């Protein structure tokens, strides 16, 4: 069936850096997003003014098997080094396929792409579990970016498995001293700079004066990131994994490429067991 003109505008499959396939999503009001099939990796999200909202390193290598540095990497089936697999698992280093028969997803957007990842023989040797990871990336009518993941256990024997998961999002911000994060006050967190010791957040909002690497526990469904210099607010909304014991937020502040420009990374973490 031929796509209509509006559908072609809403979603376009084309070539990106180094000839890698990517999907460009467009909203009628001018917002855009770009998703590479390699890693199901969102590398760009622009508002209707054409301003880039995500950070991608100038040293990012769009060449497999290296992961793309920046944007929104998918961490699965392992987050960080918390397990026997490579850092952040292997989903971000795999070529995903366009899902031609996706399940119903709760979105009214006409600008979206459905992707799917299944384990290869090599993956099964590293992590002996069969699964289907379905991801929808959608661009809302107001320019909102929505990522929805569904992970299904397809083990022939029905054996359950445990995994960790994250959208490792890099937001583009200005001077980090002008950035504050709200809705984390009074929450407990693990401080990775102090051997994961547990503390309780003090103050009305999180601000940055030095390196920060924390995992916030049992976070609310909405978190706000305020960039005073750019007069911009990111609002993160989440709907937790259905069987998760907790869905955390890790806030990490790092210096990129040895420059004075610092970059904040805020991403939801999930721990789940699938039957």
Q: Which two tokens stand for residue 179?
A: 């950035």
Regarding whether 273 and 227 lie in a shared domain, the answer is: yes
| Per-residue pLDDT reduced to its tens digit, 83-101 | 788 888 999 999 999 999 9
What pLDDT digit, counting tens, does each position of 240-267 carry? Answer: 643 333 344 555 554 433 333 444 444 4
Give the pLDDT confidence of 202-221 residue by residue, as tens digits.
888 888 887 788 888 888 88
Look at the chain and report how many structural domains it folds into: 2
Of 155, 170, 185, at which residue does a domain stop? 170
Shared domain for 23 and 145, answered yes or no, is yes
Same-domain check for residues 242 and 149:
no
Residues 56 and 166 in one domain: yes
Q: Which of 131, 149, 170 is the last residue before a domain boundary? A: 170
**25/123 Cα distance (integer angstroms):** 30
Residue 44: partners with Cβ closer than 8 Å, 6 or more residues away: 32, 33, 34, 52, 54, 56, 71
177 compared with 154, residue with greater pLDDT: 154
Residue 44 burial (CB < 10 Å; 0-12/13-18/19+)? buried
Q: What is the share, in percent, of the chain residues with pLDDT greater than 70?
A: 83
Q: Which domain holds residue 198?
A: 173-275
Q: Do 59 and 166 fall into the same domain?
A: yes
Distances (CA, A) of 257 to 113, 162, 170, 181, 246: 32, 35, 15, 24, 33
Are 4 and 90 in a shared domain? yes
Instruction: Tell me if 92 is assigned to a ligand binding site.
Output: yes
Say whether both 20 and 136 belong to one domain: yes
- My answer on whether 147 and 127 are in the same domain is yes
Please name the residues in contact with 104: beta carbons below 8 A apart, sequence gap of 6 or more: none
pTM: 0.84
pLDDT for position 253: 52
- What CATH number is attached to the domain comprising 146? 2.70.98.10
φ, ψ of residue 168 to 5 degrees: the values are: -90, 70
141, 170, 199 - which closes a domain: 170
Q: Say what the pLDDT of residue 255 is.
A: 41
């Amino acid at each position: 069936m031929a796509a209509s003109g509006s559908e072609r505008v809403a979603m376009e499959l084309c070539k990106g850096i180094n000839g890698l396939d990517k999907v460009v999503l467009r909203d009628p009001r001018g917002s855009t997003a770009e998703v590479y099939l390699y890693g199901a990796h969102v590398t760009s999200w622009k508002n209707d003014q054409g301003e880039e909202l995500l950070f991608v390193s100038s040293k990012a290598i769009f060449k497999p098997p290296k992961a793309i540095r920046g944007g929104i990497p998918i961490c699965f089936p392992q987050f960080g080094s918390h397990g026997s697999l490579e850092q952040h698992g292997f989903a971000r280093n795999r070529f995903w396929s366009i899902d031609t028969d996706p399940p119903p997803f709760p979105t009214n957007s006409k600008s979206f792409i459905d992707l799917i990842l299944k384990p290869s023989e090599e993956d099964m040797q590293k992590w002996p579990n069969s699964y289907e990871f379905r991801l929808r990336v959608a661009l809302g009518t107001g320019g909102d970016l929505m990522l929805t993941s569904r992970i299904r256990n397809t083990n022939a024997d029905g054996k359950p498995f445990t995994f960790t998961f994250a959208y490792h999002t890099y937001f583009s911000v200005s001077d980090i001293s002008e950035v504050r994060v709200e809705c984390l006050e009074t929450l407990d967190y693990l401080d990775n700079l102090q051997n994961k010791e547990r503390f309780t957040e003090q103050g009305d909002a999180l601000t940055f004066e030095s390196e920060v690497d924390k995992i916030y526990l049992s976070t609310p469904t909405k978190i706000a990131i305020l960039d005073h210099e750019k007069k911009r607010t990111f609002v993160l909304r989440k709907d937790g994994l259905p069987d998760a014991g907790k869905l955390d937020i890790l806030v990490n502040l790092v210096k990129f490429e040895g420059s004075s420009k610092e970059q904040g990374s805020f991403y939801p973490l999930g721990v789940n067991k699938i039957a």
